[in-house]
């Protein structure tokens, strides 16, 4: 069993992003990489084309940096335009039913600042609630995110480790039928990779 | 026009046309092809031309004069300054080392020191034509060996000038004034002549800067291409003539003139005007050399010639290899560098004929040295083949060419903008604001002058000419922006470029749908109609004035552009059906009609449901008559 994986990549200043560059430097065969800011520099999204892409894939990845506790504007535009009523949700909106979606995100701040007591006051999972619910409304499986924290100060070796982990995850998703319920139990998909990468 | 002249021309041109392509096929440079054809038609093989070999040399030496003019043109002082360390280091040590060793050899053979030194200096030269062409063909121009070779050759080319000035000082007998060229200076002592050389060079600089460039601007304004060609030739001929009047080397004069004009906007244009003449006359010169190789001398002393050839090659190789070691070239590169430059170059022919006139070296040895030079040239392809087959695999590390910005004398950018009027200049400014330098071609001299004052690198010239495009660097450029005002000329440009330089990406300006069709037929996909984007922008603003929300209107505009470009591509394929109409206006109306028919089926806003809450309501709750949309 194999899955077709679609990476919807949204980064308005990709040329200056150290971490994201490394993360998408290589991905396994059979993964489609779709760079939204490169395709729609004028925000004029081709809705039909995007719907076709979604139809052709089983696992969708929203890969983006966290800006102001959410996604960059063009990905929000994409969600607004592409997930149409009667197609993605609502009566007859079953185009995405059963597909899986998760986010691959980078944050400037370290992990410990995303706590109730710390300066960001909420966890990453709490901030991602709108995406979680968007996926759920479209009858998709929302999986935990794959997160790279502290992108401002992270060392090259750590970025490499993250890139390897991401590649491992993509390869696993491409070639296997993942146990979704098991995956949903993790806080971050990074934790699942740590447990499985070594064995 | 005597039949004699015609038969001569027939022989020379015929030989060249037959031999040069064959030489190219075998992988030799064109220089060798010309030499061989000269040998074949010369007195020792077919005997078509006998003594005339001497007579044509006068005309043919003009090729060398033009070559120096072009070398001068290509020497942009600023770029030259950047490379000064490499040029001085590599170039000077090569010239100095090789000429000293060679002079020693001649002294050991019992020559007088003056003769020995002039012989040594002559054979020090390597062949710019052969080496640069070979490096370019093999894609080695940017390796360290390529850069080193370039430095040495450039230094030699420049060194020819002082050598030509020094040679009269080495003459043991007074210079016999040539009957044909009465010289104003003959009879003056040698040191006065040397001072006058320097003075003459200074005067060329002054006249070139303050007289010639303004004059060229006036001529450029006439807009007649042949006038420009005529004035380029006139310039070269006049400088050469002046130099001969005062008994100096014409080559020296034109070289300086070239350097003076290298910084003017007419650089590319002059280059491409002179180039064909240069090529042919140089070819003629090499043929003359080939014809005048004295095989009798070679037959009489084959061992002596062979030994000398090997000795010269060996000495040049050793010196170059040593320099490469000092400058830490790796072995593989060093072999390439030293073997590549081991031949004696075409300037040796020039210097030899000059020393012959000055009676520094006697006629027999002039003949022998000419033969040695020609033979050494023929060894280069073999030596490089050897390098490729045996030496290179042995060291086995192919050095990756390192692109060093600013090391290349030619100033070639990735982008060429043709036409710098209102349209092109906007493009150029936006590119420049993002740090992208472009090579700009324009044929309006006033415009060019203004832009140059504003600090743009603009060249005056006709962009539709292949040679012009070549000298602007189209072979190494990535993008050509065709932005010429006249749609016809712009279309000619696109057609030419598609045909001769298919590798380059073209972004083309079109006035209207027609031009766009025309350009699309050449296979260009990036076509920009002047009328489309501005008209759409106006329509969008009009919708705004009528009360549409600006964002909605803008999105409609974007959609319309996409739709229209699709429609245009579709029509482009069916355009030939419409061609029965003889008149463009009819044609235009037929196309309009088709487009408007298609538009009838078009209403963007009807199937645009984005952010439309009424639509969402209907989709989720079903039709609700009370909240029916009032569109």
Tell me: the pLDDT tens digits for B492-546? 999 999 988 999 999 999 988 888 888 988 889 899 999 899 999 999 999 989 9
CB pairs under 8 A between A and B: 23
Tens-digit pLDDT profile for residues B551-593:
888 888 888 888 888 877 777 766 655 554 334 455 666 666 7
Q: A191, A187, A188, A169: which is closest to A178 by C-alpha? A: A169
Q: Say whether pLDDT at B240 is over 90.
A: no
Minimal Cα–Cα distance from A185 to chain B, Å? 32
Q: What is the pLDDT of residue B397?
A: 44
B565/chain A closest Cα distance in angstroms? 15
CA distance B381 to B28: 6
**Do residue A86 and residue B610 have CB atoms under 8 angstroms apart?**
no
| In the predicted structure, residue B353 carries a pLDDT above the cut 90 | no
A80 and chain B: CB distance < 8 Å anywhere?
yes
Whether the per-residue pLDDT at B608 is higher than 90: the answer is no
* pLDDT band (50, 70, 90) for residue B193: low
Distance CA B43, CA B600 (A): 82
In angstroms, how far is CA B490 from the centroid of its own chain? 22
Measured between beta carbons, which residues in chain A are less than 8 angstroms from residue B615? 85
For B396-452, how does the pLDDT look when each residue is reduced to its tens digit (9 = 90+)? 444 443 333 322 334 678 899 999 888 998 898 899 888 888 888 887 767 777 777
Chain-chain contact of B610 with A44 (C-beta, under 8 angstroms) = no
Which residue among B555, B559, B610 sits closest to A80, beta carbon to beta carbon? Answer: B610
Question: In this complex, is the C-beta atom of A86 within 8 Å of any C-beta atom belonging to chain B?
Answer: yes
3-state secondary structure B375-425: HHHHHHHHHHHHHHHHHHHHHCCCCCCCCCCCCCCCCCCCEEEECCCHHHH
Mutate to test the interface with B, among A39, A45, A83, A86 (most CBs of B within 10 A): A86
CB contact under 8 A, A90 and B620: yes
For chain B positions 601-620, those within 8 Å of chain A (CB to CB) are 609-611, 615-616, 619-620
Supply A107's token pair: 């944050």
When the candidates are 3.30.70.141, 3.40.50.1000, 1.10.10.60, 3.40.50.360, the CATH number that belongs to A5-196 is: 3.40.50.360
> pLDDT-based confidence at B56, cuts 50/70/90?
low
Q: Does residue A94 belong to the interface with chain B, where contact is any CB pair within 8 Å?
A: no
- The SS3 assignment for B547 reads coil
Angstrom distances, CA of residue B95 to CA of B153, B320, B346, B358: 10, 10, 15, 22
What is the four-CA torsion angle of B457, B458, B464, B470, rounded to 10 degrees? Answer: -30
* Domain segments of chain A as ranges: 5-196
| DSSP reduced 3-state for B3 | helix
CB contact under 8 A, A44 and B562: yes
**Which of the given ranges, B127-141, B301-315, B591-605, has the highest pLDDT on average?**
B301-315
Neighboring chain B residues of A90 at a CB cutoff of 8 Å: 616, 619-620
Residues 117-146 of A with CB under 8 A from B: none
pLDDT in tens, B85-110: 778 888 888 888 999 898 888 888 88
Asked whether the beta carbons of residue A91 and residue B619 sit closer than 8 angstroms, the reply is yes
**B49 Cβ neighbours under 8 A, 6+ residues apart:** B8, B11, B12, B41, B42, B43, B56, B291
Contact (CB<8Å) A84/B611: no
Task: Report angle CA B560, B562, B566 to the nearest 5 degrees.
Answer: 115
User: How far is it, in rounded angstroms, from Cα B168 to Cα B162?
Assistant: 11
Lowest mean pLDDT segment, chosen from B17-21, B35-39, B128-132, B603-607: B603-607
| Sheet with B479-482, edge to edge strand ranges | B458-460, B438-442, B415-418, B479-482, B505-510, B526-529
> Can you read off the two tokens belonging to residue A182?
């098991």
pLDDT at site B411:
60
pLDDT, average across residues B174-182: 43
> CA–CA distance from B361 to each of B55, B184, B330 (Å)?
20, 24, 40
CB contact under 8 A, B615 and A81: no
Model confidence at B183: pLDDT above 60? no
Is B610 in contact with A47 (Cβ distance < 8 A)?
A: yes
* Cα B533 to the center of its chain, rounded Å: 37
The predicted model scores a pTM of 0.56
In the prediction, which pLDDT does B173 show? 54
pLDDT digits (tens, 9 = 90+) for A6-56: 999 999 988 888 899 999 888 898 899 999 999 999 898 999 999 999 999
Is A90–B562 a contact, with Cβ atoms under 8 angstroms apart?
A: no
Residue partners of B573: CB distance under 8 A and separation at least 6 = none
* Chain A nearest CA to B533, separation (Å): 14
Strands B505-510 and A100-106: unpaired
- Residue with the bigger pLDDT between B26 and A129: it is A129
């Amino acid at each position: 069993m194999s899955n077709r994986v679609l990476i919807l990549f949204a980064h308005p200043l990709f040329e200056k992003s150290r971490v994201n560059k490394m993360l998408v430097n290589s991905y396994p065969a059979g993964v489609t990489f779709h760079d939204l800011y490169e395709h729609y520099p004028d925000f004029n999204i081709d809705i039909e084309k995007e719907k076709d892409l979604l139809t052709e894939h089983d696992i969708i990845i929203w890969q983006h940096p966290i800006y102001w506790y959410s996604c960059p504007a063009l990905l929000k535009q994409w969600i607004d335009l592409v997930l149409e009523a009667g197609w993605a949700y609502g009566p007859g909106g079953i185009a995405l039913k059963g597909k899986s979606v998760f986010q691959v995100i980078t944050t400037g701040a370290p992990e410990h600042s995303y706590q109730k007591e710390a300066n960001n006051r909420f966890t990453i999972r709490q901030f991602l609630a709108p995406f979680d619910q968007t996926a759920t409304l479209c009858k998709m499986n929302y999986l935990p995110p794959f997160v790279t924290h502290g992108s401002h100060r992270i060392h090259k070796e750590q970025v490499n480790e993250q890139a390897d982990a991401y590649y491992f995850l993509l390869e696993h998703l491409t070639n296997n039928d993942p146990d979704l319920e098991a995956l949903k139990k993790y806080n971050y998909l990074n934790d699942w990779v740590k447990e499985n990468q070594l064995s | 026009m005597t039949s004699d002249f015609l038969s001569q021309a027939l022989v020379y041109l015929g030989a060249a046309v037959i031999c040069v392509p064959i030489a190219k096929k075998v992988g030799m440079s064109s220089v060798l092809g010309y030499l061989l054809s000269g040998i074949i038609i010369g007195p020792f093989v077919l005997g078509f031309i006998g003594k005339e070999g001497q007579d044509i040399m006068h005309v043919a030496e003009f090729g060398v004069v033009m070559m120096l003019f072009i070398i001068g043109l290509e020497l942009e002082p600023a770029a030259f300054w950047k490379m000064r360390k490499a040029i001085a280091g590599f170039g000077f040590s090569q010239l100095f080392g090789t000429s000293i060793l060679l002079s020693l050899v001649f002294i050991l053979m019992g020559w007088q020191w003056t003769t020995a030194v002039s012989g040594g200096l002559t054979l020090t030269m390597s062949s710019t034509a052969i080496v640069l062409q070979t490096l370019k063909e093999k894609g080695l121009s940017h390796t360290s060996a390529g850069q080193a070779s370039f430095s040495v050759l450039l230094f030699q080319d420049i060194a020819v000038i002082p050598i030509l000035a020094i040679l009269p000082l080495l003459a043991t007998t007074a210079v016999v004034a040539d009957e044909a060229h009465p010289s104003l200076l003959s009879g003056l002592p040698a040191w006065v002549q040397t001072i006058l050389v320097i003075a003459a060079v200074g005067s060329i600089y002054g006249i070139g800067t303050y007289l010639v460039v303004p004059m060229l601007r006036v001529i450029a304004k006439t807009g007649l291409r042949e006038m420009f060609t005529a004035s380029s030739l006139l310039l070269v001929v006049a400088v050469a003539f002046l130099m001969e009047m005062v008994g100096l080397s014409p080559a020296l004069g034109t070289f300086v003139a070239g350097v003076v004009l290298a910084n003017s906007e007419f650089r590319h244009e002059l280059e491409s005007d002179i180039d064909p003449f240069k090529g042919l006359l140089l070819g003629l010169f090499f043929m003359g050399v080939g014809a005048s190789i004295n095989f009798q001398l070679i037959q009489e002393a084959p061992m002596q010639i062979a030994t000398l050839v090997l000795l010269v090659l060996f000495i040049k190789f050793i010196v170059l290899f040593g320099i490469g070691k000092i400058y830490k070239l790796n072995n593989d590169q060093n072999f390439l560098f030293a073997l590549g430059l081991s031949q004696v170059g075409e300037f040796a022919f020039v210097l030899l004929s000059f020393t012959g006139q000055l009676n520094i070296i006697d006629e027999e040895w002039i003949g022998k040295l000419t033969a040695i030079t020609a033979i050494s040239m023929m060894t280069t392809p073999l030596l490089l083949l050897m390098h490729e087959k045996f030496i290179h695999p042995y060291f086995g590390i192919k050095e990756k060419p390192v692109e060093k910005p600013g090391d290349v004398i030619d100033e070639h950018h990735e982008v060429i903008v043709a036409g710098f009027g209102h349209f092109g200049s906007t493009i150029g400014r936006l590119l420049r604001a993002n740090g992208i330098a472009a090579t700009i071609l324009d044929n309006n001299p006033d415009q060019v002058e203004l832009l140059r004052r504003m600090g743009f690198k603009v060249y005056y010239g006709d962009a539709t000419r292949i040679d012009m495009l070549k000298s602007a660097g189209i072979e190494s450029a990535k993008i050509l922006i065709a932005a010429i005002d006249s749609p016809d000329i712009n279309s000619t440009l696109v057609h030419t470029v598609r045909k001769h330089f298919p590798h380059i990406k073209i972004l083309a300006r079109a006035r209207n749908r027609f031009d766009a069709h025309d350009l699309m037929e050449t296979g260009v996909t990036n076509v920009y109609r002047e009328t489309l984007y501005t008209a759409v922008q106006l329509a969008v603003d009009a919708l705004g004035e009528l009360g549409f929300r600006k964002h909605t209107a803008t999105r409609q505009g974007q959609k319309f552009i996409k739709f229209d470009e699709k429609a245009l591509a579709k029509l482009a394929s069916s355009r030939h059906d419409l061609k029965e109409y003889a008149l463009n206006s009819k044609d235009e109306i037929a196309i309009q009609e088709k487009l408007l028919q298609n538009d009838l089926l078009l209403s963007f806003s009807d199937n645009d449901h984005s952010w439309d809450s009424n639509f969402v309501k209907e989709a989720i709750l079903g039709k609700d008559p009370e909240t029916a949309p009032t569109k």
